[in-house]
Amino acid sequence: MIVVMKHGASPEQVQHMIQRVEQLGLKAHPIYGTEHTVIAAVGEKRDEFRQSLESGPGVAAVVPILAPYKVASREVKPEPTVVRAGSLAVGNCHLGMIAGPCAVEDLEQTLSTARAVRVAGATALRGGAFKPRTSPYSFQGLKQAGLEILAAAREETGLAVVTEVIAGEDIPLVARYADVLQIGARNMQNYRLLEAVGEEGKPVLLKRGPSATLDELLLAAEYILNAGNPNVMLCERGIRTFESHTRYTLPLASVPWLHERTHLPVVVDPSHGTGHTNLVTRMAAAAIAAGADGLIVEVHPDPESALSDGYQSLNFQQFEELMSLCRRVAEAVGRKIGPYS
Ligand code: PEP
Ligand code: MN
């Protein structure tokens, strides 16, 4: 349920109500909005305590949260969340453009890509050091050496680093180098991993599982939020359907659907979403038109020789063309692509 504080409730009254909620064995998530401060009270048997909270000092109302996800819902926080990590800002009027190789392969490949995408206007660098591969015989990533390369690329270009963490035991190592922890599609419902990145506190890019519903995506985000980390970006990266012309099916209606129900920013991945280089740019533009708060795009100096996902990667010139088209589309729908100070 949501404890809505009166307009002008004092900080002491808010603090008092946070303590009351916690004394009742519920978790309190205060949200300081422009109009009201509200405290989301989540946990089991929360409705039993409604009356006793209603009479608290400075309380305007106590209302149930109807959505199954609580802290992620617009009911609790009507204002859009902006997630910031170094050079990257995503949400509300900020469009984040994350680009880079599927996997970090070597220093030169990553550095040259970081330089090229930065010049083209990317606001963050992506690159996997720990790769979740379908086959155990495929390239698994450079692991710590890959993280060091990403940090060197950030050092030179100033771009924030977005990289995947695939196991709880790797979180301290990955968090030491990354600005944003990516939870991959295969791990969207790995609830212990979600709680652990929630506790770690670094911003998280949470990818939709290929067979997960949007409610399940929001509930996965809820695990991270409930563990105390408010900086979650959702990522639509395509789902598995009967269609076989594209690697996955990229349902862009999820962007406005999610925006109606959650304050969290929504990023679209047109690379995994299509699986074909020649489809990426137009789906990126379509995502911006649909209201996406950002894109994550695979770029490689020589896609043909890439160790993973070359068939869906753009070369530098293609990424420049993507940025140029997305800029025009953004402007047409009243948005602007960074950089932001
Ligand atoms: C990736 O971004 O490289 C990746 C593995 O994506 P996903 O988890 O969406 O398959
Ligand atoms: Mn990939």
For residue 70, pLDDT over 80 is answered with yes
For residue 341, how many other CB atoms are within 10 A of its CB? 4
**pLDDT given at position 341:** 41
For residue 152, pLDDT over 70 is answered with yes
Q: How far is the CA of 186 from the centre of ligand 2 (A)?
A: 12
**pLDDT given at position 340:** 46
Across 166-177, average pLDDT: 98
Which of 131, 162, 189, 207 has most ligand 1 atoms within 8 Å of its beta carbon, as the pocket-test mutant? 207
Q: CATH 3.20.20.70 spans which residues of the chain?
A: 83-332
Q: How far is the CA of 103 from the centre of ligand 2 (A)?
A: 7
CA 225 to chain CA centroid, nearest Å: 12
Across 203-214, average pLDDT: 98
**pLDDT given at position 322:** 98
Return the ligand number nearest the Cα of 298. Answer: 2
Q: How far apart are the first and last CA of the chain?
A: 37
Query: How many angstroms separate the CA atoms of 324 and 256, rounded?
Result: 23
Determine phi and psi for 273, rounding to 5 degrees.
-65, -25
User: Closest ligand 1 atom, CA of 184?
Assistant: 8
Q: How far is the CA of 272 from the centre of ligand 1 (A)?
A: 7
The pair of structure tokens assigned to 83 is 């997630």
Return the ligand number nearest the Cα of 307. Answer: 2
CATH number for the segment(s) 2-63: 3.30.70.1140
Ligand 1: does its nearest atom lie under 6 Å from the Cβ of 118? no
For residue 118, pLDDT over 70 is answered with yes
Determine phi and psi for 237, rounding to 5 degrees.
-125, 15
List, for residues 276-302, the tens digit of each pLDDT value.
999 999 999 999 999 999 999 999 999
Q: How far is the CA of 201 from the centre of ligand 2 (A)?
A: 25
Q: What is the DSSP letter of 299?
A: B
List, for residues 21-32, the tens digit of each pLDDT value.
999 999 999 999
Q: 190 falls in which pLDDT band (50, 70, 90)?
A: very high
Q: How far is the CA of 164 from the centre of ligand 1 (A)?
A: 8
For residue 125, pLDDT over 50 is answered with yes
For residue 320, pLDDT over 90 is answered with yes
Q: What percent of the chain has pLDDT over 70?
A: 98
**Mind spelling out the 3-state secondary structure of 154-191?**
HHHHCCEEEEECCCHHHHHHHHHHCCEEEECHHHCCCH
User: 3-class SS at 203?
Assistant: coil
Ligand 1: does its nearest atom lie under 6 Å from the Cβ of 207? yes
* Vertex 266: Cα angle to 242 and 127 (nearest 5): 80
Across 139-165, average pLDDT: 98
CATH topology of domain 83-332: TIM Barrel (3.20.20)
Q: What percent of the chain has pLDDT over 90?
A: 92
- Contact status, residue 58 vs residue 18, Cβ threshold 8 Å: no
For residue 331, pLDDT over 50 is answered with yes
Q: Which of 29-38, 40-49, 119-128, 242-251 has the lowest mean pLDDT?
A: 40-49
Question: Is the peptide bond between 339 and the residue preceding it cis, with omega within 30 degrees of 0?
Answer: yes
For residue 45, pLDDT over 90 is answered with no
For residue 337, pLDDT over 90 is answered with no
User: 3-class SS at 121?
Assistant: coil
Q: How far is the CA of 133 from the centre of ligand 1 (A)?
A: 9
User: Closest ligand 1 atom, CA of 235?
Assistant: 9
Ligand 1: does its nearest atom lie under 6 Å from the Cβ of 91? no
User: Closest ligand 1 atom, CA of 208?
Assistant: 9
User: 3-class SS at 152?
Assistant: helix
Q: 46 falls in which pLDDT band (50, 70, 90)?
A: low
Q: 339 falls in which pLDDT band (50, 70, 90)?
A: low
Ligand 1: does its nearest atom lie under 6 Å from the Cβ of 300? no
Q: CATH 3.30.70.1140 spans which residues of the chain?
A: 2-63
Ligand 1: does its nearest atom lie under 6 Å from the Cβ of 46? no
For residue 143, pLDDT over 50 is answered with yes
The protein residue with its alpha carbon nearest to ligand 1, atom 3, reads 102
For residue 55, pLDDT over 90 is answered with yes
For residue 87, pLDDT over 60 is answered with yes
Closest CA to 221 of 252, 264, 257, 185: 264
204-230 burial string, b = 16+ CB within 10 Å, else e? Answer: bbbbbbbebebebbbbbbbbbbbbebb
Across 316-336, average pLDDT: 96
Compute the mean pLDDT over every residue in the chain, rounded to the nearest whole number: 95
